[in-house]
Structures are given as structure tokens and as C-alpha cells.
């Protein structure tokens, strides 16, 4: 009774004293009113129907981004039709799932209901601000259909669910990614299989339900374009897949890049970074000393010093690291640059290895028989991010070493995630590097040293990395590089290609509109790509988003309105201003 009284009192308080709107909400309300007035005053009529799949509701950063793009597109004659989940999905989803919502706890159902309700509230709030009525995906699935999909999901997960496909969509792989990622696992081990199967049933149902609802939405709405969050996870991957089948252009966005508060855009792909369509024609462009200066300056801003001889303090720091690690400077050294194993973006099967840990542990074994060489493994600093979440379940390198009883030989050096050793300093100690999916592999390549790209990372197959097609191929490459040092000419060639790629990615594909602000003080952390920070829209009106006012907004909107690629032959976003690359 007491708890009910407290709950009622809180509801009354919220009714009388509603929470103050956030800065993002205030700014988007102002922008929306300004755009609505401009559209009405200038008689702008809808020319293009754009479907906007479900929001990513974890942070207002996406609100700020989506609100600005939606406003800019509406000013150009686009009709935006958003969708919202509205509790379509099961007790696990790609917004919150697994250990992030305490799935194992007794009060999980209550917590899940609160999370789901909050997500619905967030959706309703943004679309209310934008003055748009969303399509509710839950309304496209009746009770009978829902029950049938649950039965289908149960049948699928009773077998080899990780290999399942539906409508040519690799559902099993998408479900597997969701299960391991949201439970901080590198793989599904036998002692966790039963729980993983149960979780997989929920995610399988979600894929089936999303497929069912979006098929109806697309058939009814027949949009000209779809603009949505990156399709790497199934909540958006399903839409992307259906669009590919039906020939509807899908423009995806994702908050990633090499600059502070940058976003990457692409057409008809689920890759988080996608510059490949422009690469061949980009290589034919003239390369100037000023461009090389900008790349080196950008790398230096991240803490990476390509010209070590001109940096005596950094050179001494590198020497101190070598002393601390007890590295023998006379022995050829390989640096393994890791990612976060439970991040599904990292944990992708490659041609040579099943996952990142297979690569690392096989490499340790290889070095144990070759004392004439040295191996340094830099465990990713973010491996134990938010250590209070799922500590008993989380996959960690140190934990795996212990469980597998792996003996670390004297010529193998492990740098733990919490150790205050700068990865860029360690790069100077290595003759050759290896990376599974990490951006540090691209950074390493900018030294002009050979980099073995193990996984299908976005900078692979660009001429400055080496891609093994099998485990045997990998070890052959590794031994050849350790036996023979690269000539100065080869290093210059690799470095030039890596820098050209860096320039394209950092200054063109990492789009910074200049329309966002943040309260985050650690600018270097933002530049290096941390996820845990929020941004908000700057104060603006419709005038700031009109054609000719912002070249980055213009480029994206022109691409969408005219069905043009973001990256293509002799086509890439305009160069960002240098002031956006600095604090």
C-alpha cells in the first residue's frame, strides 16, 4: 500500500511539475517552428516520400542529428514518414538487451517494462517536437500473427539457429551478433548455450516481426527513399535488406569517423564505414604537400607522431616504454592491435580465423616456438568499459588466458587495458603490425610499416595492408615480414597510400556539419572516437539549413533528393573545415 501511495505521489508531482525540457528538445522545438513557418510562407510542397525507420533512443545525440537532417530535408520538399517500434519487439531488442537490462535478475520483467515504456515515450516525444505522426510497427502485427511468429521463432532456435535465413536475410548471423554483443561475449560456449538459445528466441522473433511489419509498411507507403540508422544491427538491417530487394535507396548514417562529433553516411550498405566506391578515383587525384601536412597534423592531434626524430620528448618516452616492457631492440617485433571481443563489430569471422581470440592465441603459440622474434599484444583499453555491467559473464582477454590455461612465453608481452601505456608509443617499437577490425591498424599503417589486416576492416584491400586468405597464409606473411625489413622505398609507398586513405576518410567521409555542440571537455577523447558522450544541436533557424548555407547538409540532402551515392566515382563529401578538427 505504501509503495502505491509513493508511486501515485510521484505521478501527481510529474503532472504538476513536469520535467524541464533538455537543451536538445528546446533547440529542436525552435528549429521545427522556424522550418514550419518557412515551408508555409514559401508554399513548399512534398515531392519525395522518405521513410525514417525507428530511432536509436539511447542518447539525445541521435535526436539532435535526426532532427537537423529531417528539418533540412523537409525544407527541400521531402515528406518524412517515421516509424516507431511501439512495443513490437520481445523482451530483448537492439536498444536494450542482455546484461544491459539485467536480464538475469529476478525483477527483470518489471525493468524491461519500464525500459520499453521509456523508449515509447522517447519516440513520442521527438515526433511530437517535430510535428510528425509516426507509423506504429506494432499496429501491423495482430495477436494471431504474433503467436504464429513466436512459434516459428521457437522452431528455428530449436535447431541451428545461427545459420538460419529468412527471405534471404542472414537472420541467424544477425541474431548471433545480438546475443553475444548484448551479453559481452566473444563466443557462445557450451556452459552458456542454453541461455543463449533462450535469448536467441527473442531476437529471432524480433527479426520475423520487423520483417513482417516493414513488408506491410513498404507495400502500403511505397517510399521513394529510406533514411535511417546504420543497418549493422537487425533493427535497421531488416529495412535495409527489404529496400535492397525492392530497389529503394537506403541512406544510412552512423556516428563514427576520425573527427570530433563526425558522422559517416553511405548508400545501400550496412558497413559502418564505406568509402570504397570512391577509392580508385580518389587515388588519381593530385597529392600535395599541404594534404600530407594536414594528415600528419591530424595524426599528431591524436597523439601519433609519424616523424619521431623531430620529437625528442616523444622519442624518449618511447624508449622508456621499451625499457618498462623489457623489449629487446635487436629482435624483430610484431604488434597485435586488438579490439573489444564482445563488440560484434570486432567479432567477425575472417578468412583466416574464427574470431579475434583465435587469432591472438594461435599467434602466441606460433611465437612460443620462435624465440628470435617478439610479440606485443595491446589489449584494447575499452575491453572492461563499464566494469560493473556483467562482470561475471563478460569476455576478457586475461580471463580467457586463464580459462584456456595459455602459457605466455618470455618473448610475448601483454599490455593490459588498464595500463597507462600509450598505444601510439608502442607502435614505434614494432616492425610489423596486425589488426582484426581496429582503427589503430590504419593509424599503424601511417608509419609506413606493413600491417596484416586479419578481419574485413574498411581500410583493407586498399594497397597498404596485407590480407591473409587462410591461417597458413597469415603465418607465412608474418614470418616474411619479420625476417626481412621493408626497404625505405616500400615503406614510403605504404605510408603514402595510408595517408591518402586517411585524408579521404578523415576530411571527407567523417562529416562534421558544425551544427552540434557538446559539454564533453576531453576533446582528444572525442577525437579518438569515444562513444560515451552527448552532443546537442546549436541554436539555429530554417535559414541555417537552406540550400547554400551549409555544404555538408547540402551534399547529404542533394544525394538523397537526387538518388546519388555518398561515395562514388569522383564523388565524395566536401572537405571539412580544419577548425572542426581541433578543440
With helix as H, strand as E and coil as C, how does 411-462 read?
CEEEECCCCCCCHHHHHCCCCEEEECCCCHHHHHHCCCCCEEECCCCCCCCC
Alpha carbon 548 to chain centroid distance? Answer: 30
Report which secondary-structure segment, H or E, holds 491.
Answer: helix 488-504
The one-digit pLDDT tens for each residue of the chain (583 residues) are: 555 545 555 555 555 556 789 999 999 999 999 999 999 999 999 999 999 999 987 678 889 999 999 999 999 999 999 999 999 999 999 888 888 888 888 888 898 999 899 999 999 999 999 999 999 999 999 999 999 999 999 999 999 999 999 999 999 999 999 999 888 888 899 999 999 999 999 999 999 999 999 999 999 999 999 999 987 899 999 999 999 999 999 999 998 899 888 999 999 999 989 999 999 999 999 999 999 999 999 999 999 999 888 899 999 999 999 999 999 999 999 999 998 887 756 667 899 998 899 999 999 999 999 999 999 999 988 777 666 666 677 788 888 899 999 999 999 999 998 899 999 999 999 999 999 989 999 999 999 999 999 999 999 999 999 999 999 999 999 999 999 989 999 999 999 999 999 999 999 999 999 998 887 766 666 655 555 457 889 999 999 999 999 999 999 999 999 999 999 999 999 999 877 765 4
Task: Look at the block and give the residue holding cell 545461427.
Answer: 162
Q: H helices within 333-417, ranges in order?
A: 356-368, 397-403
Q: How far apart are CA 538 and CA 517, in angstroms?
A: 6
pLDDT attached to residue 430: 97
What is the DSSP-derived secondary structure letter of residue 54?
A: P
Set of cell numbers at residue 31 = 528549429
All domains of the chain, ordered by start, with CATH?
2-128+221-277+517-581 (no CATH), 286-509 (3.40.50.12580)
pLDDT attached to residue 11: 54
Q: How far apart are CA 252 and CA 223, in angstroms?
A: 15
Set of cell numbers at residue 380 = 584494447
Alpha carbon 423 to chain centroid distance? Answer: 21
Q: Are 217 and 140 in contact (CB under 8 A)?
A: yes
Handedness of CA 84, 219, 66, 457 (dihedral sign): positive
Measuring CA to CA, how many Å separate 541 from each of 40, 323, 576?
15, 57, 22
Q: Which residues pair with 412 in a beta bridge?
A: 375
Amino acid at each position: 500500500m505504501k509503495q502505491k501511495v509513493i508511486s501515485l505521489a510521484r505521478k501527481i508531482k510529474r503532472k504538476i511539475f513536469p520535467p524541464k525540457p533538455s537543451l536538445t528538445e528546446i533547440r529542436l522545438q525552435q528549429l521545427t517552428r522556424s522550418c514550419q513557418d518557412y515551408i508555409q510562407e514559401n508554399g513548399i510542397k512534398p515531392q519525395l516520400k522518405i521513410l525514417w525507420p525507428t530511432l536509436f533512443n539511447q542518447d539525445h545525440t541521435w535526436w539532435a542529428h535526426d532532427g537537423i537532417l529531417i528539418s533540412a530535408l523537409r525544407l527541400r520538399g521531402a515528406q518524412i514518414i517515421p516509424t516507431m517500434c511501439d512495443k513490437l519487439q520481445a523482451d530483448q531488442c537492439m536498444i536494450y538487451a542482455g546484461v544491459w537490462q539485467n536480464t538475469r535478475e529476478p525483477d527483470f520483467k518489471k525493468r524491461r517494462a519500464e525500459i520499453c515504456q521509456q523508449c515509447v515515450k522517447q519516440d513520442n516525444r521527438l515526433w511530437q517536437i517535430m510535428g510528425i505522426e509516426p507509423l506504429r510497427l506494432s499496429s501491423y502485427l495482430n495477436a494471431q500473427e504474433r503467436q504464429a511468429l513466436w512459434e516459428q521463432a521457437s522452431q528455428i532456435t530449436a535447431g541451428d539457429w545461427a545459420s538460419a535465413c529468412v527471405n534471404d536475410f542472414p537472420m541467424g548471423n544477425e541474431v548471433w551478433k545480438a546475443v553475444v554483443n548484448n551479453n559481452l561475449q566473444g563466443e557462445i560456449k557450451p556452459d552458456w548455450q542454453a541461455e543463449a538459445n533462450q535469448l536467441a528466441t527473442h531476437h529471432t522473433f524480433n527479426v520475423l516481426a520487423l520483417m513482417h511489419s516493414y513488408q506491410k509498411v513498404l507495400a502500403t507507403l511505397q517510399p521513394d527513399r529510406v533514411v535511417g540508422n546504420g543497418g549493422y544491427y537487425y533493427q535497421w538491417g531488416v529495412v535495409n535488406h527489404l529496400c535492397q530487394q525492392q530497389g529503394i535507396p537506403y541512406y544510412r548514417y552512423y556516428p563514427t569517423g576520425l573527427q570530433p562529433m563526425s558522422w559517416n553516411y553511405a548508400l545501400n550498405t550496412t558497413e559502418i564505414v564505406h568509402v570504397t566506391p570512391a577509392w580508385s578515383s580518389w587515388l588519381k587525384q593530385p597529392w600535395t604537400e599541404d594534404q600530407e601536412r594536414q594528415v600528419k597534423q591530424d595524426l599528431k592531434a591524436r597523439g601519433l607522431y609519424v616523424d619521431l626524430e623531430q620529437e625528442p620528448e616523444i622519442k624518449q618516452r618511447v624508449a622508456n616504454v621499451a625499457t618498462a616492457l623489457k623489449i629487446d631492440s635487436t629482435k624483430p617485433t610484431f604488434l597485435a592491435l586488438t579490439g573489444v571481443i564482445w563488440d560484434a563489430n570486432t567479432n567477425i569471422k575472417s578468412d583466416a580465423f574464427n574470431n579475434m581470440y583465435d587469432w591472438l592465441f594461435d599467434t602466441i603459440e606460433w611465437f612460443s616456438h620462435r624465440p628470435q622474434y617478439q610479440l606485443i599484444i595491446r589489449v584494447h583499453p575499452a575491453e572492461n568499459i563499464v566494469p560493473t555491467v556483467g562482470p561475471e559473464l563478460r569476455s576478457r582477454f586475461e580471463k580467457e588466458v586463464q580459462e584456456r590455461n595459455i602459457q605466455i612465453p618470455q618473448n610475448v608481452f601483454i599490455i593490459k587495458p588498464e595500463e597507462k601505456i600509450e598505444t601510439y608509443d608502442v607502435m614505434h617499437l614494432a616492425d610489423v603490425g596486425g589488426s582484426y577490425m581496429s582503427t589503430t591498424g590504419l593509424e599503424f599503417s601511417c608509419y609506413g610499416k606493413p600491417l596484416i589486416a586479419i578481419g574485413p576492416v574498411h581500410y583493407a584491400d586498399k594497397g597498404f595492408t596485407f590480407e591473409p586468405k587462410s591461417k597458413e597464409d597469415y603465418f607465412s606473411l608474418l614470418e616474411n615480414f619479420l625476417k626481412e625489413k621493408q626497404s625505405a622505398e616500400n615503406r614510403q609507398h605504404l605510408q603514402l597510400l595510408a595517408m591518402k586513405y586517411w585524408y579521404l576518410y578523415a576530411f571527407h567521409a567523417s562529416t562534421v556539419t558544425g551544427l552540434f555542440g557538446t559539454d564533453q571537455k576531453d576533446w582528444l577523447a572525442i577525437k579518438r572516437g569515444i562513444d560515451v558522450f552527448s552532443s546537442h544541436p546549436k541554436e539555429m533557424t530554417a535559414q541555417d539549413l537552406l540550400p547554400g548555407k551549409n555544404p555538408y547538409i547540402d551534399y547529404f540532402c542533394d544525394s538523397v533528393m537526387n538518388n546519388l551515392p555518398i561515395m562514388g566515382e569522383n564523388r565524395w563529401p566536401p572537405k571539412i573545415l580544419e577548425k572542426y578538427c581541433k578543440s
